[in-house]
Structure 1
């Protein structure tokens, strides 16, 4: 499993040298959109580092960058994009209703979801992990026994930790990951668990500089894909081409470094289209 540690300019140079390749034949331009109208894209509004709506109404994060790049390849400029908040429970319905053209929102590709949604990608391979305070003496999963472990209400992440490595961990369920992070900062909980990309996004925020660390447990493989309405193979093909181009020209690596760099996130190289890790 190839991993890189994002930790600054040197890592950026190394990563871009690994992901940038010569592009034969020039750029292919899609005719979708033709520069007119708008495109509606589903994202999360509350995931720092991935997709966050700022107080001024703008959006930032890795998923936002991926979505914007795809939209550009489909023929849309940034001012033609309408980002629509699409919560996890409503993603399939939003696509089937036509509320959005595609979704980029930490959307893991699963066999169950593929019954209702078409997926492009994957564009990021994440893993369930645990976030700790920087001075924590927890060094392996079993050390979580007897500790307070936080996740959001209804998530299976904390139970996964109990089932796999720490059956005696004390589960604390909060309504949002922001509350879990605040609890970790204050000492109310000892660890927070969900996808490492989400945890890294929080840890990379300026207000949390050097306060947290990822344990690197890799308890699952989460293949993030772009959700598209079931049966729309034409759009899936176009998005896959856009994702491949984003990796080739270095934009993918630059976005990872920009949004996760301060968290020293051990991210994996961009996955190949259609390569789903079980």
Structure 2
């Protein structure tokens, strides 16, 4: 009888059975440590991913105070969606075939490209082909440095750090010659450097950032795609991008941006 009562209670109140889902709220996963994209600052959340997420939430009928922000580390994103910890994730979350086996995506809402960040005034490094004999920083476990070594500069000296903020510090301290990852992440870091760092501006890969949602939720994907299209068409997308990369003169690859969301992703 107790088991039956508990099951009945679950039907009427998910919260009563341990779920942290709040009535009338939407839970969105973002990064808390990526300047320019998703960054927790004095109890508030700022960045391009945050702005896109807020716009989508608004189109879904939620006010800003109805958003519950949750940190979404890269290794935990699929599990967070599968376990129902969040309703969607916008956290520099690239759409890949492997990830689509576990979750679904709306979007893309941005197409990033791997690029290089150097000290202001650096002229010897114009692209990844100039890195032989140079010291390159990337994050531990990142595929960015592997891409450079395999495709462009096999003799590059690699330094790994736990985060890109540490790589940026190593760069303007002169410990390394360049930092590599997605261009929009580098733009956010450069914007925080007060003019000491700059992007090379020659992206050499494509990464489609999508909105991660629970596997198979085609109706939510359609509504999110409608919101992304609306944001792009009325200028809000461009304004958000400029605001979060201010002072860097960052321009995403115009061949892919703003992207057209794909139905069914």
Q: Same fold (TM over 0.5)?
A: yes
TM-score (norm 1): 0.83
The answer as to 2:73 corresponding to 1:90 is: no
Give matches, 1:48-197, under 5 Å. Answer: 48-54=35-41, 56-137=42-123, 138-197=125-184
Displacement after TM superposition at 1:220 (Å): 1.1
Shift >4 Å, 4+ stretches: none
Q: Which residue of 1 aligns with 2:20?
A: none
Task: State the aligned residue count.
Answer: 237
Residue 45 of structure 1 is matched in structure 2 by 32
Q: 1:274 aligns with which of 239, 257, 262?
A: 262
1:213 to 177, 198, 208: 198
Counterpart Cα distance in 1 of 2:121 and 2:95: 35
Q: Deviations over 1:122-167 (max 9, x none)?
A: 0001001110111212223222111110001111111110111111
CA distance in 1, matches of 2:234, 2:126: 38
Post-superposition shift, 1:193? 0.5
Select which of 217, 221, 237 maps to 2:222.
Answer: 237
- The residue number in structure 1 matching 2:18 is none
User: Aligned partners of 1:102, 1:272: CA distance in 2, in Å?
Assistant: 19
- Separation in 1 of the partners of 2:36 and 2:127? 26
CA distance in 2, matches of 1:142, 1:243: 36
SS across alignment from 1:121: strand
- Please give the alpha-carbon distance, in whole angstroms, between the structure 2 residues aligned to 1:52 and 1:157: 21
- 1:259 equivalent to 2:236? Answer no
Partner of 2:6: none
Query: How far apart, in 1, do the equivalents of 2:129 and 2:97 lie?
Result: 31
Which SS does the other structure have where 1:261 is aligned?
coil
Output the CA distance in 2 between the equivalents of 1:192 and 1:184.
7
Deviates more, 1:180-189 or 1:259-268: 259-268
The equivalent of 1:3 in structure 2 is none
Asked which structure has the greater RCO (Cα within 8 Å, sep 6+), the reply is 1
Residue range with higher mean Cα deviation, 84-93 or 212-221: 212-221
For 1:271, what is the secondary structure of its paired residue? Answer: coil
Q: Is the 8 A contact 2:116 2:127 kept in 1?
A: no
| Cα deviations by residue, 1:27-66 (Å, 9 ceiling, x for unpaired) | xxxxxxxxx6111000000000101000x21000000000
1:266 is paired with a residue whose SS is coil
**Offset at residue 240 of structure 1 (A):** 0.4
Point out where structure 2 has 5 or more consecutive residues left out of the alignment: 1-22
